Amino acid sequence: MKKDMYILGIETSCDETAASIVKNGTEIISNVVASQIVSQKRFGGVVPEIASRHHVEQITLVIEEALLDAGMKPADLDAVAVTEGPGLVGALLIGINAAKAFAFANSLPIIGVHHIAGHIYANELMQRMEFPLLALIVSGGHTELVLMGAHGSFKLIGETRDDAAGEAYDKVARVLGLPYPGGPEIDKLAAGSDAEIKFPRAWLEPGSYDFSFSGLKSSVINYKHNLDQRGEEINPAHVAAGFQASVVEVLTTKALRAAKEYNVKQVIAAGGVAANRGLRASLEKAFQEKGIPFYVPPISLCTDNAAMIAAAGSAMFTEGVRGTLAMNGKPGMPLISWNTEK
Amino acid sequence: MIWLGIDTANTPLSVAIVKDGVLLVEENSGMAINHSLRAMPAIEELLTKAELKPSDIDAIAVSEGPGSYTGVRIGVTIAKTLAWTLDKPLVGISSLRALAMDALFFDGLICPIVDARRGNVYAGVYRYDNGKLISIYEDGHYSLEDIMKFLEQDDNQVLFVGKDTVMHEGEISERLGQQAVIAPLHFNLPRASALIHAAIQSEQESDVHTFVPQYRRIAEAEANWLKGQGKDKSRE
Ligand SMILES: [Zn+2]
């Protein structure tokens, strides 16, 4: 009988301090997340220095809780997986150095995981991935379409040329005077709106799978500015609905076209913005109509967490990928395949 | 009793192992290498040289700052994670005290300095008294001017330590003249063995989970936010 594999995941790339233990790459044994949203709310966004200070306060507590919740000791683990990048460098370094110290003290191997590979592998915790697979990653820092031919094989087919979708949400939310984080607020307003302002869609050149959201953000700002000049009040719900409709239509259309072109067996959405109800509903409807299986993890696995890092780390561990004690934070780390055969 | 000492609070790296009061091995480097690249490999090499395993460590001393925010955090994160998972005591020592330790027998005032840009320094003033290093001007983030004013009121000679002293040597000798003594170069790197000595003396164990760096300075965003709230605590 094959021995079970237990991987400890650690994630500190932005404003969540998280640790999790995952069994065989698919089963969550424990999943602990300490969020800084309450503290960062004061600043209307994530301040890197504040994020790093919070991570130091939380890191050992969070790892200890992940072990206690799982009823496990360090000796029960097979490896430690940690987010190596991309992210805020000062924040990444806390998770990385805690992971290295923990791995060293307990004679465990260490694995550096790409944050986006983590978001994609959050789906392995729900159902098995089938290839070829298309992943749509939408978060505060990312908007990407990734094609996977096999485990650990990533091909970036489209990405944002300016703002990430989540960034656009936060900026528009600020224009509308909504609290941070802006995404859920806009989603809520849009859902309850009875009309929408028509904003442009950025399709870019024909055939492109890239995205652009800065033009959309500017048209929202201009729209408000024009009304301000005329002394008229904007209707935030109508603006939110119009903005969201533009984002959702572009994301859905491009994902659908890519899924058909590459004849994929499965489409998955990942990242914090994948928790957006409007986007989820639109993607679900579009792929259902075409008969392509589509999955989104539950909200707790869409937002940053360590179970997804442990899941990706498990796949890497099985492939023999290992890091060293000289691991450094890589704020601009590219998504590189660890399986280059397919 | 085996101690591991770690100092990554500023550009230099120092790690040391002391066993039963004897310094076994120490690595001191003034090179500007990212601590995340060097600190853990250095600790691993040191234990190998000392023919020890991680579980042989009985206590950990770490430089708690002030200094480079990221640098301090790397050392503190490594130290607290090791202390927690090995279930061993952790002692935090001021990075400035660690620098002043090298000058223990100086008969006068000892002023460790770390440059903090824009005319500011992390500094403190110490005096060697009855085998102990006494802090007489609290460690903090000051303008060099604040430190000079304090020292000018005193008649004692002042020994400046720390590799950043050279950056301020002109202003120091202009203000203090013969009163100022600049430390020789071998006093200017923090030594983890001095940190361990201070930790043994202090007999003050820290709570591992809640242990955080002593930044001695509020984050800029927080200072601005407090200002907006009408409570200026930027000099906290
Ligand atoms: Zn993320």
Q: Would the CB atoms of B84 and A64 count as touching at under 8 Å?
A: yes
Query: Is B200 a domain residue?
Result: yes
B215 CB neighbours in chain A (<8 A) are: 53
Tell me, yes or no, if A222 comes closer than 8 A to chain B by beta carbon. Answer: no
Residue B175 has pLDDT above 90, yes or no: yes
**Token pair of A135 as six digits:** 């992943």
Scanning the structure block, which residue is given the tokens 């485990």?
A151
Per-residue pLDDT tens over the stretch A70-116: 999 999 999 999 999 999 999 999 999 999 999 999 999 999 999 99
**Residue A271 Cα to ligand 1 middle (Å):** 5
Q: Are residues B10 and B89 located together in one domain of the fold?
A: yes
Per-residue pLDDT tens over the stretch A125-171: 999 999 999 999 999 889 999 999 999 999 999 999 999 999 999 99
**Residue B148 Cα to ligand 1 middle (Å):** 48
Tell me, yes or no, if A49 comes closer than 8 A to chain B by beta carbon. Answer: yes
B77 CB neighbours in chain A (<8 A) are: 56, 59, 93-94, 97-98, 101
Q: How many CB pairs under 8 A join A and B?
A: 102
Per-residue pLDDT tens over the stretch B106-121: 999 999 999 999 999 9
Q: Would the CB atoms of B34 and A102 count as touching at under 8 Å?
A: no
Tell me, yes or no, if A93 comes closer than 8 A to chain B by beta carbon. Answer: yes
A181 versus A96: the higher-pLDDT residue is A96
**Residue A13 Cα to ligand 1 middle (Å):** 8
Q: Are residues B71 and B31 located together in one domain of the fold?
A: yes
Domain count, chain B: 2
**Protein residues with C-beta less than 5 angstroms from the ion ligand 1:** A 139, 304
What length is written for chain A?
Answer: 342
pLDDT, averaged across chain A:
95
pLDDT band at B229 (very low <50, low <70, confident <90, very high): confident
Q: Are residues B85 and B42 located together in one domain of the fold?
A: yes
Residue A323 has pLDDT above 90, yes or no: yes
B39 CB neighbours in chain A (<8 A) are: 97
Give me the residue from A50, A60, A96 closest to B219, CB to CB. A50
**Token pair of A53 as six digits:** 């200070």
pLDDT at A37: 82
Q: Residues with Cβ < 8 Å from B48, sequence gap 6 or more?
A: none
pLDDT at B11: 95
**Residue A139 Cα to ligand 1 middle (Å):** 6
Q: Residues with Cβ < 8 Å from A36, sequence gap 6 or more?
A: A15, A16, A17, A46, A50, A51, A54
CATH classification number, A133-296, choose in 2.20.140.10, 2.60.40.650, 3.40.605.10, 3.30.420.40? 3.30.420.40
Q: Are residues B104 and B170 located together in one domain of the fold?
A: yes
Residue B232 has pLDDT above 60, yes or no: no
Q: Which of B223, B30, B216 is nearest to B120 (CA)?
A: B216
Q: Are residues B87 and B151 located together in one domain of the fold?
A: no
For residue B136, the distance in angstroms to the closest alpha carbon of chain A comes to 28
Share above pLDDT 70 across residues of chain A, in percent, rounded to a whole number: 99
pLDDT at B231: 64
User: What is residue B26's three-state secondary structure?
Assistant: strand
**Residue A238 annotated in ligand binding:** no
Q: Would the CB atoms of B81 and A50 count as touching at under 8 Å?
A: no
- Please spell the DSSP secondary structure of A72-116, one letter per residue: --GGG-SEEEEEEESS-HHHHHHHHHHHHHHHHHTT--EEEEEHH
pLDDT at B236: 39
Q: Would the CB atoms of B219 and A42 count as touching at under 8 Å?
A: no
**Residue A115 Cα to ligand 1 middle (Å):** 6
Residue A204 has pLDDT above 60, yes or no: yes
Q: Which of A73-87, A199-213, B83-97, B218-232 has the lowest mean pLDDT?
A: B218-232
Q: How far, in whole angstroms, is CA A80 from its chain's centroid?
A: 20
What distance in Å separates the CA atoms of residue A117 and residue A137, rounded to the nearest whole number? 10
pLDDT, averaged across chain B:
94
Query: Is B137 a domain residue?
Result: yes
- Strands B109-115 and B120-129 come out as antiparallel
B92 CB neighbours in chain A (<8 A) are: none
Tell me what the mean pLDDT of segment A224-246 comes to: 95
Per-residue pLDDT tens over the stretch A188-197: 999 999 999 9
**Residue A116 Cα to ligand 1 middle (Å):** 7
CATH classification number, A6-121+302-318, choose in 3.40.50.1860, 1.10.10.10, 3.30.420.40, 3.40.50.1000? 3.30.420.40
Give the ipTM: 0.95
Q: Which of A11-20, A44-53, A201-210 has the lowest mean pLDDT?
A: A44-53
Query: What is the residue extent of each domain of chain A?
Result: 6-121+302-318, 133-296
Q: How far, in whole angstroms, is CA B227 from its chain's centroid?
A: 30
User: What is residue A146's three-state secondary structure?
Assistant: strand
CATH number at residue B207: 3.30.420.40
Q: Are residues B6 and B67 located together in one domain of the fold?
A: yes
Tell me what the mean pLDDT of segment B35-52 comes to: 98
What distance in Å separates the CA atoms of residue B132 and residue B112, rounded to the nearest whole number? 16
Q: Would the CB atoms of A60 and B80 count as touching at under 8 Å?
A: yes
Do the domains A133-296 and A6-121+302-318 match in fold? yes
Scanning the structure block, which residue is given the tokens 């159902």?
A127
Tell me, yes or no, if A241 comes closer than 8 A to chain B by beta carbon. Answer: no
**Residue B21 Cα to ligand 1 middle (Å):** 47
pLDDT at A1: 61
pLDDT at B102: 84
Instruction: Kindly report the number of other CB atoms within 10 A of residue B34's CB atom.
Output: 17
B85 CB neighbours in chain A (<8 A) are: 74, 101-102, 105-106
Q: Would the CB atoms of A50 and B221 count as touching at under 8 Å?
A: yes
Q: Would the CB atoms of B36 and A327 count as touching at under 8 Å?
A: yes
Query: Is B30 a domain residue?
Result: yes
Q: Are residues B80 and B60 located together in one domain of the fold?
A: yes
Q: Which domain holds residue B112?
A: 100-187
User: What is residue A139's three-state secondary structure?
Assistant: coil
Query: Is B182 a domain residue?
Result: yes
Per-residue pLDDT tens over the stretch A277-303: 999 999 999 999 999 999 999 999 999
pLDDT band at B234 (very low <50, low <70, confident <90, very high): very low
User: What is residue A257's three-state secondary structure?
Assistant: helix
For residue A112, the distance in angstroms to the closest alpha carbon of chain B comes to 13
Residue B235 has pLDDT above 50, yes or no: no
For residue B44, the distance in angstroms to the closest alpha carbon of chain A comes to 8
Query: Is B69 a domain residue?
Result: yes
Per-residue pLDDT tens over the stretch B153-173: 999 999 999 999 999 999 999
**Residue A323 annotated in ligand binding:** no
The strand pairing partners of A179, in sequence order, are none
pLDDT at B45: 98
